[in-house]
Amino acid sequence: MRWTRRRLLFRALRKRGQLAAVTDRTRAIRRNDILCFATVRNEAERLPFFLDHHRGLGVGHFLIVDNASDDGTCALLAAQPDVSFWRSGHSYRLSRFGMDWLTWLMSRHGHGHWCLTLDADELLVYPHHDTRDLHDLTAWLDAERRPSFGAVMLDLYPKGPLGDRTYRAGQDPLDVIDWFDAGNIVTKYQPPLKNLLVRGGVRRRVFFGTEPERSPTLSKTPLIRWNRRYAYVSSTHSALPTHLNRVRGRAAGDAPSGVLLHTKFLPSIIAKSREEKRRREHFANSALYEDYYDALIGNPDLWFPDSTRYEDWRQLESLGILSRGGWD
């Protein structure tokens, strides 16, 4: 694992030349700022709410890589006083789905900071997030000597065909997609990385029912007090050194955990699926996911009688999807 981590850090060092700074405001980063890192492409509709939501949680600065957007994303980012962003026209897939780029930026700007690494379609919620911000949470994690915080992605979807709703930029996605699968969750321990992998939810039920091992991984470790020697292995599903993965299960003890509200299934998913099927940049072996894209392009209805309507973090706690742990 030590050599794997060194290899990933070296990859990031080599890929730094693929980034071109557009608006660099990193000199404004303060010592105790919580930083948010993301790679985006054509996310002008999601970013206004994404930025406001995480500002409200206490993020002090956003460091974003734009992967050749052409929908106004760059102009939107340039107008944000708390955003630094870089552009790259290189392959998203060959950059380990953006992680090589972000690893370099985290090594350079995130050392010593609590760093939140997200996709633009993820909104973090956690116990007490409506009354306690990320500074409160990370202060508790520091006191408990916990360098990382885990979360599970929760796929949200509408009732009815995906493309039949309307979403406007800046709107709360939960106005449009507010249902989820409360069950269908399976876990698997991975000894090399010492992490507990979680799969399930609506994508497993609808798209991968006959091949559940191909269904997307839902477990992530999005919040880490970063050190320039750290590296994510696969998106934010696992990290090195392996002690960063002790965020769920018996090894984590009484750890709190959160949820990433996954807004993938907004109406624009149909057009995005057509584009990503053509680009073949989102999966290591994109040919295996042709049926997945075709199903999304077909404007499916993901709702079923056992779907659960989203309420708040207390509901998720009662369902066992997140936990307060020892953070009361």
Q: Are 115 and 138 in contact (CB under 8 A)?
A: no
pLDDT at 293: 86
Regions in the chain scoring below 70 on pLDDT: 280-288
pLDDT at 282: 62
> What amino acid is encoded at 274 in this protein?
R
pLDDT at 305: 97
pLDDT at 252: 85
pLDDT at 191: 87
Length of the chain: 328
pLDDT at 154: 97
Express each pLDDT in 162-195 by its tens digit.
Answer: 999 999 999 999 999 999 999 888 898 888 899 8
**Distance between CA atoms of residues 255 and 269, nearest Å:** 34
Tokens 């509408």 -> residue: 158
**Distance between CA atoms of residues 35 and 29, nearest Å:** 9
Cα atoms found within 13 Å of the Cα of residue 307, Cβ hemisphere only: 22
- For 155, phi then psi, to 5°, come to -70, 120
